[in-house]
Every structure is written in structure tokens, then in C-alpha cells.
Structure 1
């Protein structure tokens, strides 16, 4: 163990700088003696040496250097706890590894271990690719979280945290996929009173990856101004998600008012809240199976293009 004076002398970092890095950036936090004196271990000494090298020799701002250091720690913790996931040969082995990966991610998120969870997600996209990561892992993660919350196996806080984690990760892809101007535009929203929009986001990403420009309005969207947005931006498709069946009747009236003012607008409906719909609304339902979405997309978009 090293005192702050010893660390300062070994590394050539002033004691005031060491304290500033600790207090302002939570960079390297030493243990304390009963008298309150700082004590650094060998690993912390090397981390401080690395921070000095980044700031002095590589010109990296200390705030960014600390961020990189924390990412390194997270990768190290994931590796030590879960090992290197790797990719195995064969479809059955790959499916098995995805299930194992899902369990690992669930453990991290249920324990609110954000840095490790982000690191594991980055590993997952590298291992499995976008489609498998989103549909086989993130979607299944949300389904599991919803089921376990209903069964009382996890708290409301855990359910909200994990759902928001997935939603935030998915939002990043809206700026990644290019738009095909030849394809119709879509708008995606949940009707008034509906606050669960994870499924809507996943479907919107499906459309966005296939080139559609999607105006994503999200949960609890008011009717006011919606007609103007659709008409002024030449939107051809309205994607509406509903999980609460109690809201179905008022949502149908909402759709009727929207359709009356926009006769060329196509509707896509999804979510458990739309179960048992009468015609013509039932013909607007999205196939429940994600595997069927590509076929649906080819058929539906060909009519709109």
C-alpha cells in the first residue's frame, strides 16, 4: 500500500492533482486508514500511471481518460465474472450461446450494474450481429422482464430500469441506418394513455433499418397536431401500439377521427391491447411473429410505393 505522498513521488503527480482527480471525477478512490489517510494499492498505482500517460503524452482530457478507464474496468469485470463469450460453431451452439448471453445480461441489469451491462451489449452486437442481438436478445429480455414483473419476481424499479436501458440502446440506431427517399414515410406512436412503447420502438427500428423514414413520437401521444404533422410531411403509414386493452375503444375512436381527415393514410396496429378487434381494424394488425415481418413488409410496402 502507498500513501498519497509516496504515489506523488513515484509518479510525479502533485498530491493536489490526485485529490482533484478523486473528488471531481471519481477516478481512483483509495482506501482510508482509521485516521483518514489515503492508501493506494498497486493496481490503483498503475491506473494513475495510465491516466498520467493519457493526459500528458496523448493529450487526452482527464474527463475522457477517466471515462476510458471506467470502460476498461467494466470490461475486466465482465471478463472475470463471465469469461470470454466467444462464438461457437453450429446453429445449436450459437442458439445456446445466445441464451447464455441473455441470462448474463439479465443478471447485470437486475443488479443495476450499468457499466458492465453496456460493455456486455457491445460484445453482443459484435458476437451475434444486429438482427440476432435485437430480436433474439433485447426483445426476449423485455418479454422476460414483463413476465417476471407480473409474477412479482422483480420490482417495479427493476422493470422500469431494464426497459429504459433497452429503449436507450435502441434509440441509438435511428441515426445509423440510411433513409431510402423512394420509400414511404411512417409515423409511430402510442395513443393517449398508453405509456409502454418498447415494442413500438423495436418495430420502428425494423422499418428504419429497411430504409423508411420514421417519425417516432413515442408513448401517450395526444391527438392535437397529429393530423397536421402527417399531412404536412407526406406520411403514408401510421404505426400504433397498444398494450392496455382497456384503452381499445377510445383508441378505435381516435383512429376513426384520424382516418376521416386522412383518407390515404395506412394503419399498422400492434400490441396485446388490440386483441379481438373487429374488421376492418383486424386487417391492419401486424403479424405477431417477428419472423413474419419481412414478408409483411414486402407485401405492404409494395402497395404503398
Structure 2
């Protein structure tokens, strides 16, 4: 890959205003990075570079926020912060290649990002996909990237696979690429002591768990402690784990009518457990496509996407 010059990086960052306007709390909310973390980056590495008010309070620019988001995602991928800073300042590594795409003159609309990411993944081009995602993360909040770019793109890939327009291998490649991103973020943000314990898994025959994993990422970013169980969770083992861990909420996902029906028995069993029984919630593409399924289900339908689930979890557990 062609070397990314310092001039290209500078060009990229100039897309963002350097006017100081955001306080520390706002930056933490926008980026999902704790204030103590990016203040430590500032002290040790001089990045980001907030300005100070007359009273000595930090004020950050959009450029600072883009910088913090980029560093956040590099550390989520496994780099140390010092390595990520070195990449940003040196500009010689191929993993910064996304800066070249970021400086093109086309608007960064969701439709355009979607078509570019889709094309990269069905071409088995992980490097180009990394570039496009890196660009999106630098410009938009993490939740928006997953809800407005990744989720629609994966739905499109699934539909194209079902219609025979792309191969099984292309669908698997795309799924594993996104899974690695979500897993890295989950491991970065996951905590051992949060607002409450939420257990997340999929119906016993449900093999598609990206939606559930995305929910897990969103919840840990909002301070919830999450135990993520993944796909195909047997009912017997689930109930035993609930007895052992005593979560506040059990959240189960299903993408087809067949797997959604499996959650009927699970929901009844969870809610019938002796006190302190957890709350039971469910969601997934099956319920979005066929809302009538919710009429039969015990527990609470948590919403149509990961952000709605976050809000529903807060409502359910606020009274417990």
C-alpha cells in the first residue's frame, strides 16, 4: 500500500473544526472513552490537544474528538496506546491507509459508506474494509456507525446470499470481519462491576449472533455488566447459569420464526424461577419481521435495534 504522508493526515484532520467547544463530559459521551483515559493520553503523549478556558477547564474541538475516536478503535483492535499514537504521528503504517480514502472529495453519506463497505467485503478485501470503517468511526459516533452502516450492510449481505447473488464464503468473510470488530470493542469496554448484570445469548438453534453481540457492545458502553453467551445456548445450561450468576436480566435473540418459537419455553422457565428471578427480554430479526410473534412471548420485547434495547434495559431495571 502507498505510504501515507504527514500531509495526507493533516488534510484529513482539517475536515474537522479545531474550534474549542466541547467540555470533557461531552467528549466522553461522544466517544465512549472515559475522561480519565483521554486526559492520560494528553498528559503522556500530547494527544488530544484541548484548549483551556480562563478558568482552566478543558475545551475540545471536533478535531480532538475525531482523534480520540481513531485512537479508541486502534486500541480496541489490540494496539497499545503508544503504538496507536506512533501510527498517528508517524503515518508510515499500512493500517493508516484509510486516511487516503478519508480525504476524497465525495460526501461521507451513509449510503456511500454502505456501498463501499459492502463492495470491500464481498471482494474479500479486509484492508479496504478497515479503511472505510476507520473513516466512519472518525467522523461519526460508534453507535451510529453500527446502526446506520454495519447493520444495514449485513442485512443486505444476508439477503444477497439468500438470493444466490453472493457466495457463502463471501457472507462468512463479512460476518467474521464484523464479529472481530464487535468482539474487540466488547473486550475493551466490558467491566466486572456495572449498573446491573445482563446475560445475553441466542436461542438454542440460533447460529447468527451478530445482533446479540452488538447489543452486548452497546450495553457495556452504557455501563452495564454483561455476560455474553453467544449463539445456540441450550436451555438447560442457560437455566443453570442463571442460578449460578443470578443476573438482573436475561436477554435472548432469534432471527427466524423457528428459533423465536424456542424462546417461548425459555421465557416461561426463566420467569418461573424462584426469587430472585431475573427479568426476561427478547428481540432479533424474527420479531422485527413478524411483530405478531411478540403476542405469544412471555417477558418484554426489547426493541428493533441495539439502541432501543439499551433504552429498554434501563427502563426494565430501573425499578428492580
TM-score, with length taken from structure 2: 0.62
Q: Give the superposed CA RMSD.
A: 3.1
Pair 1:72-2:93 in alignment = yes
Q: Is the 8 A contact 2:114 2:149 kept in 1?
A: yes
Pairwise CA distance, 1:144: 1.5
Unmatched tracts of structure 1, length 5 or more: 1-63
Q: Deviations over 1:89-146 (max 9, x none)?
A: xxxx6xx523212221111111001122223322321122312212111112112212
Larger mean CA deviation between 295-304 and 152-161 belongs to 295-304
Select the structure with the greater relative contact order (CA < 8 A; seq sep ≥ 6).
2
- State the distance in 2 between where 1:195 and 1:293 align: 20
Unmatched tracts of structure 2, length 5 or more: 1-82
Q: Which residue of 1 aligns with 2:279?
A: 266
- State the distance in 1 between where 2:180 and 2:307 align: 24
Q: Which residue of 2 aligns with 1:162?
A: 174
Q: Is the 8 A contact 2:202 2:230 kept in 1?
A: yes
- State the distance in 1 between where 2:158 and 2:311 align: 28
Pairwise CA distance, 1:83: 6.0
- State the distance in 1 between where 2:225 and 2:307 align: 22
Q: Is the 8 A contact 1:190 1:240 kept in 2?
A: yes
Q: Which has the larger radius of gyration?
A: 1
Q: Which residue of 2 aligns with 1:139?
A: 151
Q: Deviations over 1:184-218 (max 9, x none)?
A: 20111112111011111111212111111111110
Pair 1:300-2:312 in alignment = no
Q: Which residue of 2 aligns with 1:108?
A: 120
Pairwise CA distance, 1:227: 2.3
Aligned length: 229
Larger mean CA deviation between 188-197 and 274-283 belongs to 274-283
Superposed, 1:235-250 pairs within 5 Å as 235-250=247-262
Q: Deviations over 1:39-86 (max 9, x none)?
A: xxxxxxxxxxxxxxxxxxxxxxxxx9xxx8xx834655x566x46257
TM-score, with length taken from structure 1: 0.65
Superposed, 1:153-302 pairs within 5 Å as 153-177=165-189, 179=191, 181=193, 183-262=195-274, 264-274=277-287, 275=290, 276-277=292-293, 279=295, 281=297, 284-289=300-305, 292-293=308-309, 295-302=311-318
- State the distance in 2 between where 1:247 and 1:100 align: 34
- State the distance in 2 between where 1:240 and 1:227 align: 12
Q: Is the 8 A contact 1:231 1:262 kept in 2?
A: no
